[in-house]
Structure 1
Amino acid sequence: MPIRFDNKVAIVTGAGGGLGRAYALELARRGAKVVVNDLGGARDGTGHSDAALKVVEEIEAAGGEAMSNGGSVAEYDQMVEMVAKAREKWGGVHILINNAGVLRDKTFAKMESADFEFVVKVHLIGSAMATKACWETMREQNYGRILMTASSTGLFGNFGQANYGAAKLGLAGLTKTLYLEGAKNNIKVNTIAPVAGTRMTEDLFPAEAFKAFAPEKVVPAALYLVSEDAPSNAIVGAGAGVFQASYVTLTQGALLTGDDLSPEGVAAHWAEIADRAGEIVPNSGAEQSMLIGKKLQG
């Protein structure tokens, strides 16, 4: 059965180019009505353009329905207004893809506090604000599909991207709580960690690799993760047609008592503490406490 989005309203942030544009075009092609949100700034978040309007024109030329929105994800009132306009025109909001982002790469030693704060504000706070603006509508509808955009930098680290990495792992953490809170209202929340040749990454890829990592090759994962039958709380890596699942795991650990309940004891038992045999993938933070309880019961 083809995955369709008929009678669904989707918001894609940062959809004026790159991944966001590719998501918006394919959602529309598969029947969704799409809000194309883009501030239209440069890669570092400065300036404005009419990038969103051009994507709307593309969607309409192909027979789809779309509207542009130039609101900043970092401004909650603008996100509330965006959702209100979508509801007014189409009656609801069913899908939100949080894709908007900026880069201000520097080593931590050379990074200004403003560069750290701004990147965290756009990626993490911005995604939270866009999601918050949609949340009550999705609860009322008893239907919502939300996708956060993390990164391998957030999951695994990358030199020169402390601000970006902190924000991106924060988004994976936000997903893990929202999937729990949204479950009773059929709101599914997932995280994608894309690798794509876009304006954000054009100076990181050689020319041939840039083509191999076309944004369109990430789209299948993103659209599956916002579809009716999507999983929830998944972290999915996607790039060049390769799709991966990533997990936050917890080892069985070691119970230390007596003289071993000391820094020296932790050092002596480190191999056992870090042993990945029998590790689990917790579904909530409570499972860490539950595992400790089992250890205490012997």
Structure 2
Amino acid sequence: MTTDVFEEHRSLLTGVAYRILGSAADAEDVTQETWLRWNTVDPATVDDPRAYLVTVASRIALDRLRSARHRRESYVGAWLPEPVSDLPDGADHAELADSVEYALLVVLETLSPLERAVFVLREAFQFPYARIGEVIGREEAAARQLARRARDHVRERRPRFDADRDSRRRITERFLRACLEGDLDGLTALLADDATLIGDGGGRVRAPLRALQGVRKVSAFLHAIAQERNTRRFLDSTGVDDLARLETGVMEVNGAPAAYAAVDGRVVLLLVLDVADDLVRHVYLVANPEKMSRLRAPASS
């Protein structure tokens, strides 16, 4: 029965940890550590297993996030969240799907660890403030204040736009086609004037070390990497020496469409687009192999 109770909540725990940490690998470690702790508890002494397990997982994730912040300070280039093709908790409704959107996870990286944990527990999972206060070791009033500050910060950094899934997929497909065809004018037309590109190669794969700002710089960079010689140089850094094995397409990542390049089904490059008013505002280029291990190109590609 102890195992059954835990398995009932496993996906929830992984989902909470992933949103707090932005790393699927770390989220799985948190879930495993939560299980080890749960296995030492007499379930008969726990009135609400769901609340108990989420509290334990959240505290473990919060401790890991504090440690990760120090490690990420020495990370080569920008650190971006680990993309996932399957939502950690199998979320199939709008509220949970929105809370794992890639652009939102990027914004959550700018919150303090406490603010991020509070935001996730309140906005994604609707935990009451009293319970959130218990999780983070603060009074309910302090939890409310942290939640308000986090919401204001996210609203300022990540305004909400009405870009439906079909529109985002259509623009992602056009964007990918313009990149592949070397269509500089086409790329420029799809990008907002203040567009930003952030790359994450982890020091292992070629990627911009600093954010590129403005439509001209972003379009010029994307146009350049699509040239055959530059594509070959990029593939060399991933250990692939045959350009003919490269396949491209659009796949679902964090509940939204993203453009990818893959070799033998292994994704080596991901472009996640933040779309607003039919224009691309942000381009997140993920190429660090460590963050690609859970992604596979669609079988139909």
For Structure 1 versus Structure 2, the TM-score category normalised by the shorter chain is under 0.3
TM-score by length of 2: 0.23
Q: Which structure carries more relative contact order (alpha carbon 8 Å, separation 6+)?
A: 2
TM-score by length of 1: 0.23
The structure in which a higher percent of residues are helix is 2
